[in-house]
């Protein structure tokens, strides 16, 4: 993340994202698959990291080994072709996009950090500062109901940020400048989809 200044001198928080180049590795049609979609591959990698089935799937269309494959549903497949390269040319300045990715994992976290619980009293001999307190409803029903907010794994799950505005595009370096933050840490793999 960084910041840019607009025409009025306001500092805007932005995130710079490297987009592509991605390759269209497969086109699915309503006739053969029951729905229209394109499969996109990203990040050229070593052939040793891929299974033989994946290598064969890519080699059939004359494509290099691609580590990440993802499918996107589309309305019209006529504008796409096998091996077509997708990069920042598909976006426009001022357009809104949805960005999804894996959030930063924060490990096993307590109730206050995970669910914003209030703390207990800090004085008068209280020994309940960050403890969760009672969890059961009593003798009847004599159990803890499922879905109780308790300590546990925080983060490391798929998050989607909607309607991020594109403030800039760098075609030479394939960079997309988005207003605001995106999920995950630097180097995270993201899905960028135009907002409807």
What was the pLDDT predicted at 151?
96
What was the pLDDT predicted at 116?
96
Q: State the Cα–Cα distance between residues 99 and 5, nearest whole angstrom.
A: 23
Sheet order of strands, 85-86 included: 66-73, 37-44, 22-28, 85-86
Q: Could you read off the pLDDT of 13-30 as tens digits, one per residue?
A: 999 999 988 999 999 999
In a domain, 162, yes or no: no
Measure the N-to-C terminal CA separation of the chain; round to a whole number of Å. Answer: 25
What was the pLDDT predicted at 196?
81
Q: Give the percent of the chain with pLDDT over 70.
A: 100
How many domains does the chain contain in total?
Answer: 1
In a domain, 77, yes or no: yes
Token pair in block for residue 145 = 């109901």
In a domain, 105, yes or no: no
What pTM value is reported for the model?
0.83
Q: State the Cα–Cα distance between residues 173 and 88, nearest whole angstrom.
A: 9
In a domain, 66, yes or no: yes
Range of the domain at 27: 20-86
Asked if 17 and 176 count as a contact pair (C-beta separation under 8 A), the reply is yes
In a domain, 37, yes or no: yes
In a domain, 79, yes or no: yes
What was the pLDDT predicted at 94?
94
- Parallel, antiparallel or unpaired: strands 66-73 and 37-44: antiparallel
In a domain, 69, yes or no: yes
Q: What is the CATH number of the domain that holds 64?
A: 3.30.160.810
What was the pLDDT predicted at 44?
82
Q: Could you read off the pLDDT of 150-174 as tens digits, one per residue?
A: 999 999 999 999 999 999 999 999 9
């Amino acid at each position: 993340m960084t910041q840019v200044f607009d025409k009025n001198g306001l500092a805007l928080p932005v995130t710079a994202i490297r987009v592509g180049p991605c390759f269209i590795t497969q086109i699915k049609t309503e006739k053969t698959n029951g729905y229209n979609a394109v499969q996109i591959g990203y990040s050229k990698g070593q052939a040793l990291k891929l299974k033989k089935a994946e290598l064969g799937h890519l080699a059939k269309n004359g494509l290099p080994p691609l580590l990440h494959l993802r499918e996107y549903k589309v309305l019209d497949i006529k504008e796409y072709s096998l091996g077509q390269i997708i990069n920042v040319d598909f976006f426009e300045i001022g357009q809104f996009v949805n960005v999804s990715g894996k959030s930063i994992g924060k490990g096993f976290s307590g109730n206050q950090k995970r669910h914003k619980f209030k703390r207990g009293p800090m004085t008068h001999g209280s020994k309940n500062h960050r403890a969760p307190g009672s969890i059961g409803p009593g003798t009847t029903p004599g159990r803890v109901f499922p879905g109780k907010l308790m300590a546990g794994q925080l983060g490391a799950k798929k998050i989607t940020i909607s309607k991020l505005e594109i403030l800039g595009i760098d075609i030479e370096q394939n960079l997309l400048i988005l207003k605001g933050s995106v999920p995950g840490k630097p180097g995270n793999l993201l899905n960028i989809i135009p907002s409807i």
